[in-house]
Amino acid sequence: MPPKPKFTREEIVASAVDLVSKKGIDYLTTRNLGEWMGSSARPIFTVFNSMDEVIREVRKAATEKFNSYIREIVNFTPAFKEAGVRMVRFAINEPKLFQLIFMTENHEPVNPGSFFGNLGEYEDLCTSVISRDYGLNTEESKVLFQHMWTYTYGISALCATHMCMFPEKDITSRIGTEFLAITSLIKSGNMYTTTPNPVPGNNPKDFKTNEILDKIKEQSAK
């Protein structure tokens, strides 16, 4: 009969998540994890076949930690804004885990059509509350979510890498303003309206863009 493992699978994953949270994914080696648990590396491989398997489980556990934090948005109004604020807050409080979940380099580039639609529970919950709270259809909800996720991710990445740390009131203000801008375009029938592509030449007035802005302003005034 094989000896009973010194640590359970859950205990090893929990220790690995704690290590990554403090030191980062690059620090997660068999030796470092064993030392973190006050042991040698041997007990790890009585439960796991390889460190790649450990890393996959750590990423799943980190994602679940993020999702469990996001699930609480249903207790807030506006719920979608709370989701954005919580994403940034997670990046501030758990920068190493945020980097693991959202900033790990892919082996191959992924196009937006494949990326969005595969963000799992976070995306499903957000598009659901958008549709519920603002009366948008499925396509409109997806467009709003994608624009806001991209914007919020930028703030989160700046915070997670300590390139720029935004105060909480600034985070809520920026997310709120961006939300109003995108939602106003969608509700005014200008969901896919954009500015002209840049072309060579010096035109400080940018007449074409101003024409678009004036048109949207007129529509909003009606």
Q: What is the DSSP string of the chain?
A: -PPPPSS-HHHHHHHHHHHHHHH-GGG--HHHHHHHTTS-SGGGGGT-S-HHHHHHHHHHHHHHHHHHHHGGGGGSSSHHHHHHHHHHHHHHH-HHHHHHHHSPPPSS---HHHHTT-STHHHHHHHHHHHHHH---HHHHHHHHHHHHHHHHHHHHHHHTTS----HHHHHHHHHHHHHHHHHHHHTT-TT--PPPP-SS--TT-HHHHHHHHHHHHHHH-
Domain ranges of the chain: 1-48, 61-190+205-221
Taking residues 38-67, report their average pLDDT. Answer: 94
| Whole-structure pTM value | 0.91
* CATH number for the segment(s) 1-48: 1.10.10
Taking residues 133-152, report their average pLDDT. Answer: 96
Give 25's pLDDT tier (boundaries 50, 70, 90): very high
Better pLDDT: 149 or 113: 149
Mean of the per-residue pLDDT values of the chain: 92
> How does pLDDT run across 29-50, given as a tens digit for each residue?
999 999 999 998 888 999 999 9
> How does pLDDT run across 174-211, given as a tens digit for each residue?
999 999 999 999 999 988 988 888 888 776 778 888 88
Give 1's pLDDT tier (boundaries 50, 70, 90): very low
